[in-house]
Every structure is written in C-alpha cells, then in structure tokens.
Structure 1
Amino acid sequence: MPATYVIGDIHGALKALKQLVERIAPKTTDTLIFLGDYVDGWSESAETITWLMELESQYTCIFIKGNHDAWCESWLNGVMPEASWQRNGGKATVESFNKLSPAALEGHQQFLNRMRMYYIDDQNRLYIHAGFTSTHGPAHERFEPMLYWDRSLWELALAMDRSIPKNSMFYPKRLLQFKEIYIGHTPSLNYGEDLPMIACNVHNIDTGAAFKGKISAMNVDTKEVWQSDAVYLLYPGENGRNP
C-alpha cells in the first residue's frame, strides 16, 4: 500500500535532506508532503530547491509554502522583504541563488510561485506550515500570510485542557475541523524536544534543522519517524540560523 510521508522544515540543508530521504527509502508510489521553509539558514538553499524539483519527477510531491519561502519568493519577484529576512537566513539564500543562471533562477521562481498554502488529504488531514486563525479552517483565513506565520494554533493545542470533551461547547472549534493537522514553523527544540511533538490532534514536525536540530519525517499512517543527523554537523564552519 502506498505510504505518505510528511517532512518538516529544511532551511537550505540539502545534505541532511538527501540523508533523510535515503533513510526513508520511499517507493515511487509513495507521497512526500513537505511543510515548507526550504530556504534560509544553511548554504544550499538554491541547491535544495533544484533537488526538490528533481525529486518531483520521481515521486508524488506536495510542497507547502513557509514564511521563509514567502520571503525568498518576494525577493525573486523584485520586492525586498523586511530587513529581518537578512538576519534570519536570507543572506545565505541570496548568496546561494546568485550562483544560478538566469534560466535556472526563473525556474526556481516559478517553483516558489506555485507552492500550496495548505493541503487536505482524502482522510481530512491538514498539512500547513504554521496554522490558521479562522474557526472555519484555512480556506476562510482573511489574512493569507497567517497560514505560514500563525503560532496560536500550536500554542492552543499545547495549552489545551485534556479533560474537556470534544462535544463540549468549550472545545476549540479550530481543533475540530480536521482529523489531524501537520505543521512546521515552530521548532520542537524550543520545548526541549528533538523529536516531532503532538498536542491534541496537531503534529509538529519541525525539529529545529535551522539551528542545532535535525530534519524529521513521519509516516502519517503508522506515525513512524525518521531523522537526519544534526544538521550543523553536516555543515562545519557554518552557523545556519544560530546566533
């Protein structure tokens, strides 16, 4: 039976991404769902996008847009993002993309432009970079960037009183919209965890690859987890997004 794997934040760590996919060893009939933040951090942001486009020719791939991808896309479209982008991995991304030919640069721009804001599978599982604020789901989000910036969904799930039943009027409506929700954006390292986390029906697959962590993947049916090595070990002499 074909499997579906969801993969967390990458942040330009192509060596770790290749290592992770090799460890998963997916079949050509499997689906790979990427939760965003492919760029900004380590030195191979453009190379990561190039490899993802190649991967798309071998597997069914779904690419969700992250906030760092939105920053990069804005830059490629000729609009400089806010100044904090350069301090949060954007400098390495610019250096990486400046190595590309004009034709390759256009291909990468098109790849970023066509990324999805979110994806819902046939079992009503949501895949999104950060979260959503509308009680009716991401399709009703009034401010689209919240889909790759919002952390309140994850914080809500973490703080949830587990004694409240789902049929209670007090149970958060956002958590009732989907069977499961898969997110990235907020590193599990922030909570002292180096593995993906779960709170209520929300699975956080970001395990801090931009910093001292790893890239993680999960089989959404079996919940088996794979990880790369700690990314910083694969990029000696680089800082990623570490201070």
Structure 2
Amino acid sequence: MSRILMISDIHGCIKPFNELLDAVKYIPTEDKLILLGDYVDRGPQSKETVERVKELVQNYNVIALKGNHNQRLVDLIRTDGEEVQPKFLEHGGMQTLQSYCPFMTEDCNEELIKQAREYVRDHYNTHIAFLESLPLYHEDLYHIYVHAGLNPKYANWREQSDYDFMYIKGEFHQSKPFTEKPIIFGHTRTIELHDSPDIWFGQGKIGIDGGCAYGMQLNCLIYDDGHYYTADIKNS
C-alpha cells in the first residue's frame, strides 16, 4: 500500500508547503497526496499556491478538495461581488488580491478592488475554473476526507449541504462517531480543539489544520500500512 499524505489549509503559505513535502520525502509517483482545501487568503502567496496545487492535481492525480476560502474567491470573481466582498476582505482576501494583482496596495478602495477582480478574471480564469471544479469530499477504503466536517443529522452524509462540507464546526466536533471510517478534516485550527497546533485525534475524526497562516504550523498526517504518523513545518 502506498502512503497517504494529508495536508489542509495552506492559505497561501507556499514555502512551508514545499518544505513539508520535502520533509516527508513526498514521491509523487508512489505516494497519495490529499489536500483538504483552503489554498488562498491570509498567507502571502495565494497565486503561487493555487498554481502549485493545480499542477499537482493535473500531473500526479493529487486529490484537492474545495474549502470555504476557495469558494469565496470564486464567488467574488464570478459574481458582482457585492454580497461576498465584505467577508472576503475580512478573512484575508486582501492578501489574495495582492498576490494576484501587482498594482494592489494596502490602502485600497472600491475602484481598486473592482479593477483587481477584473484583472483576476481576465488573467487567471484557469485558476478560478480550477478552484470552482474541486470536489467537496473524497472517500477511499480507509477514510472520508472533507474540508470542514460532516453533519451528524444526516443519515447519509453525502446528502448534506455544500455549506456543511465547507463550514460546519461545533456540532461535528462534538458528535460521537457516526461513520464507519474516520473523518479527516481541516478548517478548524487544532489549537481550538486541544490547545495545540498539532494534529488532533478525536473519536472517529482527525483534525489537521495547524494554523499555518496564523504563524503556527502546517501539518501533514501520514497513513502508512495501517499506522498514523505526523510531521509539521513551523511558519515563523
């Protein structure tokens, strides 16, 4: 069996991501890499991160899931942006626009943001189409993989809303095991689950978001021959 490597919430932190892949000695032709969403916002290099993830998916059959920050960027570019723009900017979106648009400044205004949206639409439509196309979950013989979690109210978790796949928190974290396979998830920083940025092993679920874009760490959960191992890169 090949190793399964799981990483989540890179958030534009391309340097720690590449360093982590090197640290775990990732071999694209042998290992299965599964990324659990949120490749943009907060960190300094969203554009480079999306390009890297896109290349991994297209060339090495890497599984990349959709996260709420990915969807928010898609919505900003695909719509008039009015509804999503305040939340996008509030949650690290300015760093994403600065990564994509060479003319963006910290002291921006509505007109500059409008120009940035048009610039991304015109020059990076392949990135937006890629993020838009990502699946909400993945399942194999060993785990269920999802960005945020599963809603325990659903007898068939596949029928839950897109919103739950990308946003659910408390009721999922606090639920007793309700799936046959462990659920691997990101979205919620593990420091919120057990006062540590290290990977959180719960009942029937494993949280792996180490809060890299918040100056903590990027985690990798490794599943190899029935055993779990962990690795991380500090983001200083």
Confirm or deny a common fold (TM above 0.5): yes
Partner of 1:72: 73
Q: Do structure 1's residue 223 and structure 2's residue 228 form an aligned pair?
A: yes
Rounded Cα–Cα distance in structure 2 between residues aligned with 1:25 and 1:83: 40
Q: 1:196 to 1:148 in 2, by over 3 A?
A: same
1:199 matched residue in structure 2: 202
The answer (yes or no) to whether the contact 1:138–1:147 under 8 Å persists in 2 is no
Q: Give the residue type in structure 1 aligned to 2:155.
A: H
- Two-structure CA RMSD over aligned residues (Å): 1.9
Q: Secondary structure at the match of 2:144?
A: strand
Secondary structure of residue in 1 paired with 2:91: helix
Separation of aligned partners in 1, 2:59 and 2:21:
12
Counterpart of 2:89 in structure 1 is 86
Q: Which runs of 5+ in 1 are unaligned?
A: 158-171, 234-243
Moved over 6 A (4+): 100-103
Please report how far the alpha carbon of residue 43 of structure 1 lies from its aligned counterpart in structure 2 after TM superposition: 1.2
8 Å Cα contact 1:7-1:216 kept in structure 2: yes
8 Å Cα contact 2:57/2:64 also seen in 1: no
Residue 136 (structure 1) aligns with = 155
Number of aligned residue pairs: give it: 213
For residues 65-114 of structure 1, the C-alpha deviation after alignment (integer angstroms, 9 at most, x for no partner) is 11111111111213421512202100111121225776750110111011
Distance 1:178 1:36 in 2: 23
Q: Which has the higher helix share?
A: 2
Q: Report which of the two has the higher share of strand.
A: 2
Q: Deviations over 1:5-47 (max 9, x none)?
A: 1112111100110111111112212111001111111110011
State which drifts further: 72-81 or 205-214.
Answer: 72-81
Paired letter, 1:225? T
Structure 1 counterpart of 2:215, from 209, 212, 215: 212
1:1-243 mapped onto 2 (5 Å cutoff):
1-27=1-27, 28-80=29-81, 81-99=84-102, 105-123=124-142, 125-133=143-151, 134-141=153-160, 143-157=161-175, 172=176, 175-190=177-192, 191-221=194-224, 222-229=227-234, 231=235, 233=236
Relative distance call for 1:101 and 1:74 in structure 2 (3 A) is: closer
Contact 2:185 2:206 survives alignment (8 Å): yes
Which whole-Å CA distance do the structure 2 matches of 1:94 and 1:101 have between them? 8
- Give 5+ residue unaligned stretches, structure 2: 103-118
